[in-house]
Amino acid sequence: MPMLNSYQVYLIFPILGAIAGAMLWLSYFKRLDILQHERIIDLCVAFIIGYLTPSLALWIYKYHESIGFNFNGHLINDFLYSIFGVGLTEELVKLSGVFIAIAVLRKRVDEPIDYLIFAGVVALGFSVRENFIYYNNYGSQIITGRTLISCLTHIINTSICVYGIYRFKIFRKGNVYLNSIVAFTIAVSSHGLFDFFLTQPIIGKITPFLSTLVYLVGINFWIQMINNCINYSPFFNYQKISTLTKLYVSVLCWYVILLAIEFSYGLYYKGYIFALKDIVKNVLKEGVLISIVLLRIDRLKINKRKYFPIKIQIPVYITGNDDEDFKLLGIPIKIRGENRREFRFLEYMGKEIYIYPVSSENKIITEAHRARLLKKYFLKNDVVTYLIEIASEFDDHKEIYLLKPLSHSITSIDDSYPVGTLMEYENPSAFHKEHETLPYKKLKSIEQIYLIHK
């Protein structure tokens, strides 16, 4: 058996990195598509189409070079090239791939999320081929950063384009042409600015922070679009969606595999000490950012037929609504979207359940009561609440309250039954109209209960 030459050995690491990077995001898309699964063959078709699209981009770049349009170190020129050379070129090319994929797979597009999944997989194919070129040229020590940042940036921007183009068709919002123009402009600008801030130190060494900001806002855009598509699915089912938890697990597992590939590359070419230092450096450098990404892609805002306007936000914020995920130096911090403790209430929606008092000191719920979660609401700053109907223990009379999932302290009984706080609003008849602008503190806390399936 012939021995591999040095270049063939060198290629092993970019190939493994490209494959693992593709699997990281493909596994996420596969888990996300919970209501009506796409066939693996369809995802492969979309991926292959995306993988071929960089060839078209290379031809366009050659034309840019022929007319002298390229990065040259001048601020204005490089800004324009980032937007109209890189951003416009790559978004047009990826979008052409999406249109081909949707045309080929049109019979498989049967719910809104399919548009974003196929768009994301085409963009992933583009990015994986691009990443392979980078790994081959600059070494495989950049695998994790390219996969978690560059791949996702491509996915986000292509998804923005596709969401805008199909927004009217799916949600009956806005105007077909205006939606498309605005979305494409945002995607091209986002792509161009991300590249520009990475390459031009306009405010010194902290300029890359601006790229990080563009990236984080983009992630929040992307998840908000996913939320709306799931909420409008014709196959919407609260019980199915309630199983959509720990989306970050497969991404984290593949990230560890990518770290192992990076480590093996460093070990083979530079030795153990270099490989270990490189991995530690990358984890420290990317750790906080990747933690935020993992948490945000795990968080959804689920509410049947509810459309949430897309907002410019970063994934984390300071909360004063007793729903924080953790405290940093005493400051309550929450990742946007529903955390696991809030999300688990979905499995009780519309079902006959029993509620029980958490404390013997409860004054209203002193023993088991039949109940039902009727509707879900998001108050100001996305505070999750449910409308709960509680049957009287003596007759057929039913009382209506609000129920807020408990996010810290005792969040469940016996690790099985979720705990929430019964609350009421002084003007129940106006709650439905006012809830989106209603501060959580306007609600009156009554007592804590926990839920059990009937």
Q: Where is mean pLDDT largest: 154-158, 249-253, 410-414? A: 154-158
Pairing of strands 444-453, 398-405: unpaired
* Residue 2, pLDDT above cutoff 60: no
Long-range residue pairs from 275-284, CB within 8 A, at least 24 positions apart, any chain: 278/141, 282/141, 282/144, 282/145, 283/259
φ and ψ at residue 42, rounded to 5 degrees: -70, -40
* Residue 296, pLDDT above cutoff 60: yes
pLDDT of residue 395: 61
Pairing of strands 326-328, 384-391: unpaired
Torsion of the alpha carbons at 389, 390, 395 and 397, rounded to the nearest 10: -40
The residues facing 164 across adjacent strands are: none
Which tokens sit at 323? 């729903």
Closest CA relative to residue 190, chosen from 236, 226, 144, 159? 159
**Mean pLDDT, rounded, for 92-112:** 96
**Mean pLDDT, rounded, for 331-352:** 91
| Residue 336 amino acid letter | R
| 390-409 pLDDT per residue, tens | 987 666 778 889 999 998 77
* pTM score: 0.93
Residue 1 — pLDDT band, cuts 50, 70, 90?
very low
State how far the Cα of 315 lies from the Cα of 313, in Å rounded to an integer.
Answer: 6
pLDDT of residue 394: 64
| 202-257 pLDDT per residue, tens | 776 778 889 999 999 999 999 999 999 999 999 999 999 998 888 999 999 999 99
On average, the pLDDT of the chain sits at 90
| 357-370 pLDDT per residue, tens | 998 888 888 888 89
Annotate 343-408 with DSSP letters as a single string.
Answer: HGGGGGBTS-EEEEESSTT-SS--S-EEEEEEEEEE-GGG-EEEEEEEE-SSSS-EEEEEEEE--S
pLDDT of residue 423: 92
Residues 438/430, Cβ–Cβ less than 8 Å:
no
* Residue 7, pLDDT above cutoff 80: no
Other residues' Cβ atoms within 10 Å of the Cβ of residue 130: 20
* Residue 355, pLDDT above cutoff 60: yes
Helical packing angle, 112-138 and 6-32, nearest 10°: 160
| Residue 366 amino acid letter | T
* Residue 433, pLDDT above cutoff 90: no
Q: How far apart are the two ends of the chain, measured CA to CA in Å?
A: 66
